[in-house]
Amino acid sequence: MHADGFCVQLDVLKRFSFHRRVDTPAWLSRADWASGKVVSGNQRRVWTATGIALIWTLASIQSIDSLPAELRSGREIFSLDHLAVLVCAGLWAWAALEWIRWRTWGTSILELDHVPTDLGASWIARIQAPLELRNAERVQLKLTCVEHMRGKQNMGETKLLWEHAYALETHELKLGPIGIEIPVQFSIPADIPETLLDSRDRAIRWMLHARAPVSGLDYAATFDVPVFRAV
């Protein structure tokens, strides 16, 4: 009798937990989305570039070791070992560039006026960027919706579903609490898929890209935007 009662209670708890997971909006799964302040992915790009460069280096260690001997031999034939070393050097250059960019510009914050961003509505937000951005001639903003495939047959494939871009002149920027405030406004179509993160077969990500040419290393920041269909 006690065992049956315990099993009933356990079943109730499981169902309650399941309904809580189902009823919880997807945009509350991330703290920055829930707070309406999305941190740029600059630091994440540093770790991604470094990780890819490190993996390629480990996979090409034999080619790297054999390169000095091939150079001493005087052979002029371009081999796969040469290609592997060139790719390795390019990847580490990419990682270094991302590290320097992050150290130069730090992280920016995207402040959302409304969480989540609704499909078929006008989206208004602000980017809080470093004060050094005041020297930029213009800021280019681009919002994209990209589908990433996760299945075994087409893993790694990406498809651009929608994008829109425009530029802001210097006089359209404002002083903000941490530096420069960049106003953001897009009209989002209603017939584009919403953000999808928990599917096994695919993921749909809405990304805001901000870039500004300046003297030295250009400013660049990317943000994951929670775009969902209004209920």
Q: What is the pLDDT of residues 68-120, one digit of tens each?
A: 665 556 555 556 666 777 888 888 887 887 787 777 778 899 999 888 889 99
Task: List Cα–Cα distances, 88 to 45, 48, 60, 62, 100, in angstroms.
Answer: 17, 15, 8, 12, 18
**What's the rounded Cα separation, in Å, for the pair 28 and 25?**
6
Write the CATH number of the domain with boundaries 26-40+107-228: 2.60.40.640
Please write down the long-range contacts of 157-165, taking CB distance under 8 Å and 24 or more positions apart.
161/192, 161/193, 161/204, 162/189, 162/192, 165/140, 165/141
Strand 117-118 and strand 227-228: the pairing is parallel
Backbone angles phi, psi at 119, to 5 degrees: -70, 145
State the Rg of the chain over Cα. Answer: 24
Indicate the DSSP class of residue 81: H
Q: What is the DSSP letter of 196?
A: B
Side by side, which strands form the sheet with 122-130?
37-39, 109-112, 122-130, 179-187, 174-175
The tens-digit pLDDT sequence of the chain (231 residues) is 444 444 434 454 444 344 444 457 777 878 888 899 998 876 666 777 788 888 878 877 776 666 666 555 655 555 666 677 788 888 888 788 778 777 777 889 999 988 888 999 999 999 999 988 888 889 999 999 999 887 666 666 889 999 999 999 988 999 988 899 999 999 999 999 999 886 778 889 999 999 999 888 889 999 999 999 876
Q: What is the pTM of this model?
A: 0.73
CA nearest to 224, candidates 88, 37, 85: 37
Domain boundaries, the chain: 26-40+107-228, 49-103
Torsion angle of alpha carbons 39, 43, 45, 46, nearest 10°? 180
Is residue 74 left, alpha or beta, with left meaning phi > 0 and alpha meaning psi from -120 to 50?
left
Matching residue, tokens 């919002």:
143
Q: Residue 50: what pLDDT?
A: 81
